Amino acid sequence: MIVTPVTKLLNIRVPIVQGGMQWVGVPSLAAAVSEAGGLGILTALTQPSPDALRKAIRETRSKTDKPFGVNITLLPTINPPDYQGFARAAVAEGVRIFETAGNNPKELIAYLKSEGCVILHKCTTIRHAKSAEKLGVDILSIDGFECGGHPGEEDVTGLVLLARAAQELKLPYIASGGIADSRGFVAALALGASGINMGTRFMCTVESPIHEKVKERIVDSTELDTIHILRTMHNTARVFKNKVSKEVVAIERRPGSKFDDVRELVSGVRGRQVYERGDPEYGIWSVGLTIGLIHDIPTCEELVGRIEREAEELMNDRLKILSSSTTTGTRAKL
């Protein structure tokens, strides 16, 4: 068993957190991840209203008695969703673990802390992580450039970002972006993380709500099958490389292009229909570089169990090599 500050704070067996992905973080997946020993996450903004989130929480609880959380991502939009309404609905339903991300979460964090909640906040820079520490969050999720969705604008890879986190941060943190297997898990722990967050890997599981054809496309793809869009608009997103995302990039390269020129192409409605219709070419959908590491569609129980077992084997093997090299005076072959 791998015990870390994160397993203790979240009361979970394995320090593996499911990413709060739009249209993907639903009861079937969240419950399955929690049942497997990790932390499942419901995505609040996948639900049309706070009342719908209440129902999703009740459905999740009917499938597992293990801890699970709710993601609330604050979006850069003129007409923001009812963030406080979603938070209050979740708290009223007994949820006490929240993942926050996006724009300044100060007011939301203040409310959640007043209700005795554990808050995991996602950051793409050390600067933002230190600000979140001051706001009183409990765990930080450090997102490297490899992640799907929004990696920020600094382009710092996880290998460096996690090592910097070890130097600068006081709170426990988990690694997000570029991790899909036991080797990534062990590497994250070696870099000072107390656990990992996986999004793309959990998309490609039996309990994931996305269409089987999309899962099969993930299995058939490589790490070269992602692309960045909205870079020129300073809202970078890593998504699957298809005809729509390539068209967005082509439009962005035109002199004077603006968001209105790509608004219809990047519509969240089209992205949702990718998952429902099973056509990976229909719209924009987020995916990380770990798409190149995924070669099967296991259950969440199989996936979490495999990572946990193989991670322990890897760490034991490395300890044996180090012990042997120390005894014989030879260099460890790591």
Pairing of the two strands 237-240 and 226-229:
antiparallel
Q: Is the per-residue pLDDT at 149 higher than 90?
A: yes
In a domain, 310, yes or no: no
**What number is the average pLDDT over the span 292-302?**
98
Q: 0.75 cut: is pTM over it? A: yes
Query: pLDDT averaged over the chain?
Result: 94
In a domain, 309, yes or no: no
**What number is the average pLDDT over the span 46-69?**
98
pLDDT reported for residue 229:
98
pLDDT reported for residue 104:
85
Q: Is the per-residue pLDDT at 284 higher than 90?
A: yes
Query: Is there a single domain that holds both residue 229 and residue 189?
Result: no
In a domain, 267, yes or no: yes
- CATH number of the domain at 178, please: 3.20.20.70
**What number is the average pLDDT over the span 250-269?**
95
In a domain, 328, yes or no: no
Cβ–Cβ < 8 Å for 33, 18: yes
pLDDT reported for residue 331:
43
Query: Is there a single domain that holds both residue 95 and residue 216?
Result: no
Query: Is there a single domain that holds both residue 134 and residue 34?
Result: yes
**CB half-sphere exposure, 186, CA atoms < 13 A:** 18
Task: Name the pLDDT band for 326 (thresholds 50, 70, 90).
Answer: low
Segment holding 73, helix H or strand E: strand 68-74
**What number is the average pLDDT over the span 134-163?**
96
Cβ–Cβ < 8 Å for 2, 13: no
More confident residue, 174 or 104: 174
Q: Tokens 């460096």 sit at which residue?
A: 160
Q: Is the per-residue pLDDT at 321 higher than 90?
A: no
Query: Is there a single domain that holds both residue 226 and residue 182?
Result: no
Task: Name the pLDDT band for 332 (thresholds 50, 70, 90).
Answer: very low
Q: Tokens 């072959």 sit at which residue?
A: 333
Query: Is there a single domain that holds both residue 265 and residue 279?
Result: yes
Query: Is there a single domain that holds both residue 12 and residue 125?
Result: yes
The domain in which residue 23 lies consists of 5-209
Query: Is there a single domain that holds both residue 204 and residue 243?
Result: no
Query: Is there a single domain that holds both residue 235 and residue 109?
Result: no
**What number is the average pLDDT over the span 63-70?**
98
pLDDT reported for residue 306:
98
Give the residue from 165, 188, 209 where a domain finishes.
Answer: 209
In a domain, 46, yes or no: yes
Q: Is the per-residue pLDDT at 125 higher than 80?
A: yes
In a domain, 296, yes or no: no
Query: Is there a single domain that holds both residue 176 and residue 218?
Result: no
What tokens does 4 get? Answer: 């870390």
Other residues' Cβ atoms within 10 Å of the Cβ of residue 58: 12
Q: Is the per-residue pLDDT at 282 higher than 50?
A: yes
In a domain, 153, yes or no: yes
Other residues' Cβ atoms within 10 Å of the Cβ of residue 166: 13
Q: Is the per-residue pLDDT at 328 higher than 60?
A: no
Cβ–Cβ < 8 Å for 118, 97: yes
Cβ–Cβ < 8 Å for 120, 99: yes
In a domain, 149, yes or no: yes
Domain count, the chain: 2
Give the residue from 268, 290, 312 where a domain finishes.
Answer: 290
**What number is the average pLDDT over the span 92-104?**
95
Query: How far is 174 from 187, CA to CA, in rounded Å?
Result: 12
Query: Is there a single domain that holds both residue 85 and residue 178?
Result: yes
More confident residue, 332 or 177: 177
Query: Is there a single domain that holds both residue 97 and residue 181?
Result: yes
Give the residue from 156, 179, 209 where a domain finishes.
Answer: 209
Distance of CA 308 to the CA centre of its chain: 18
Q: Is the per-residue pLDDT at 214 higher than 70?
A: yes
Q: Report the alpha-carbon angle 219-224-227, nearest 5.
A: 105
Q: Is the per-residue pLDDT at 334 higher than 70?
A: no
Q: Is the per-residue pLDDT at 94 higher than 90?
A: yes
**What number is the average pLDDT over the span 2-29?**
97
Task: Name the pLDDT band for 325 (thresholds 50, 70, 90).
Answer: low
Query: Is there a single domain that holds both residue 186 and residue 88?
Result: yes
